[in-house]
Amino acid sequence: MTQRDWIEKDFYRELGVASGASTDEIKKAYRKLARKLHPDASPGDATAEARFKAVSEAYGVLSDDAKRREYDETRALFAGGGFGGGAGAYPGGFRPGGFGGGAGGQGFDLNDLFAGAGAPGAGAGAGGAGMGDLFGNLFGGGRAGPTGATANGARRGADVESELVIDFTDAVRGAEVALRLSAPGRCERCGGTGARPGSTPRSCPTCGGVGLVSRSQGAFAFSEPCRDCRGTGRIIDDPCPECGGGGVSTRTRSLTVRVPAGVLDGQQVRLKGQGEPGRGGAPAGDLYVKVHVTPHRLFGRSERNADDLTLTVPVTYPELVLGSTLTVPTLDSTVSLKIPAGTASGRTFRVRGRGVPRRGKTGDLLVTVEVAVPTKLDDAAAAALQSYAAATKSFDPRADVLGTGR
């Protein structure tokens, strides 16, 4: 994608959001449209597929803070005529003829203003930095050759986000999980060249493959994207029918995500280089997979130390009063837990080494015992309980609460 594309395409309108929309609003709009337009939801619908590609392209730019800022600046400078338009198209009232003067008047060269070395009317490559350097960062950065033109073909691919649901046990132990991802990727048909298989792009003769051309207008001399190659530096005579010459197409691919042991619900796993392909030989972006962990029926994670697992075990009143040895489950087996006599309901015991294995060590299992109260008693049990109550009448558990204790 070139800056010319940015000038011509309104990505905010594509997603149906305002230009001042927040990152969350942009993401929400994209996800809503992606679900509606995804090829799997409308198989064989060419219009929906084309719209899905356009929405994905828009999100790829607006979801990246740096790209979005550059997109906004580019459109502000060049949309509606920009520096190549007529009167009124220049910020602050600047015109090619100089400050307030008409064409042919005593002009003021911006080379003097920004570099102090250019002579009035000199081109972008004449002594010091010209307008091509001032606006060069809009088109990729870095000088390319003696003309001072700035190559804009190379650009790192955008990062891509996805989501994955795994069960509690896999989150604790770690796992390799298959993920089907539908996102912009290198066009498989042309291998990312943008040309139909069997043909090869050629260097643009207008800009010499740089992607920029220098232009003088009155006292100004600056660089702008080459119109013939749309700033790519290449001419594709026979575009690939799959990607239309862009070298990138939205496709569904299968990946294996290695989820590390101990991952928490909501955390992200980064897959380097698995995002949108880069342009002009630049590296691809990264894929960020947000992990959602399905809660376990018995186990949880400690809020104080996520490497410790938690478990609540119901016990009877006699087991707490008289003491007992319980068999309690772990994620992979069972262990014996000794309950001393006189244990209060709600007490937590620590079983070493039965938690989350991570960073060369394993967390613990925290077992909380809670008395289970029967909802019904037969006559014999009720009579025994009444006898117990009579035998322990002198024990008042609320003495300290009511202030009657000594």
Whether 352 and 276 map to the same domain: the answer is: no
What tokens appear for 118 in the block? 């250019």
With respect to residue 98, please indicate whether it lies within any of the assigned structural domains. no
Q: Is the residue at 53 inside a domain?
A: no
Residue 284 lies in a domain: yes
Beta-carbon contacts of 352 under 8 Å, excluding residues fewer than 6 positions away, are 364
Among residues 253, 258, 252, the alpha carbon closest in space to that of 289 is found at 258
Among 242, 268, 295, the domain boundary falls at 295
Close Cβ partners of 382 (under 8 Å, ≥ 6 residues apart): none
pLDDT tens per residue, range 121-134: 333 333 333 343 33
The β-bridge partners of 222 are 215
pLDDT tens string 192-216? 777 888 888 888 888 877 777 877 6
Q: Which of 272, 295, 318 is the last residue of a domain?
A: 295
Hey, what long-range contacts does 137-146 have (CB within 8 A, 24 or more apart)? 138/3, 138/70, 138/73, 138/74, 138/77, 139/3, 139/211, 139/212, 139/223, 139/225, 139/231, 140/211, 144/210, 144/212, 145/208, 145/210
CB-based contact 42:48 (threshold 8 Å): yes
Are 314 and 386 in the same domain? yes
DSSP 115: T
Between CA 247 and CA 153 the distance in angstroms is 13
Give the closest residue to 192 by CA, choosing from 252, 236, 138.
236
Please check whether residues 291 and 238 belong to one and the same domain: yes
Q: Indicate if the pLDDT at residue 334 is higher than 70.
A: yes
Is residue 214 located within the same domain as residue 290? yes
Task: Verify that 361 and 385 share a domain, yes or no.
Answer: yes
Q: For residue 83, name the pLDDT band (cuts at 50, 70, 90).
A: very low
Which residues have C-beta within 8 Å of that of residue 70, sequence separation ≥ 6?
138
Q: Is 266 found in the same domain as 206?
A: yes
What tokens does 151 get?
A: 């190559």
- Token readout for 59 is 């999100």
126/362: higher pLDDT: 362
Domain boundary residue, one of 295, 329, 356: 295
Same domain, 216 and 235: yes
pLDDT band at 379 (very low <50, low <70, confident <90, very high): very high
Confidence of residue 217 (pLDDT cuts 50, 70, 90): low
Pinpoint the alpha helices (H) of 115-152: 131-134
Does 55 fall in a domain?
A: no
Residue appearing with tokens 């008047």? 105
* Count: domains in the chain: 2
Identify whether residues 278 and 306 lie together within a single domain: no
Token readout for 196 is 């139909």
Query: What is the arithmetic mean of pLDDT over 385-399?
Result: 88
What tokens were used for 398?
């609320």
In sequence order, what are the beta bridge partners of 195? 239
Mean pLDDT over 272-287 rounds to 81
Q: What is the pTM for the complete model shown?
A: 0.52
| Same-domain check for residues 353 and 252 | no
Please check whether residue 266 is in contact with residue 289, taking contact to mean a CB–CB distance below 8 angstroms: no
Q: What residues make up the domain containing 354? A: 299-402
Instruction: Considering only residues 81 and 46, tell me which one the structure prediction assigns the higher pLDDT.
Output: 46
CA angle 202–205–211, rounded 5-degree value: 85
- The answer to whether residue 262 is domain-embedded is yes
Together in a domain, 181 and 285: yes
Domain assignment present for 342: yes
**Rounded Cα gap, residues 118 and 318, in angstroms:** 95
In a domain, 29, yes or no: no
Residues 277 and 313 in one domain: no
CATH of the domain at 265: 2.60.260.20
The answer to the question of residue 64 being in a domain is no
If asked whether residues 270 and 199 sit together in one domain, one would say yes
* Spatial distance between the Cα atoms of 275 and 273, rounded to a whole number of angstroms: 6
Of 195 and 345, the one with more pLDDT: 345
Q: What is the Cα 245 distance to its own chain's centre? A: 26
296, 168 contact by CB (below 8 A): yes
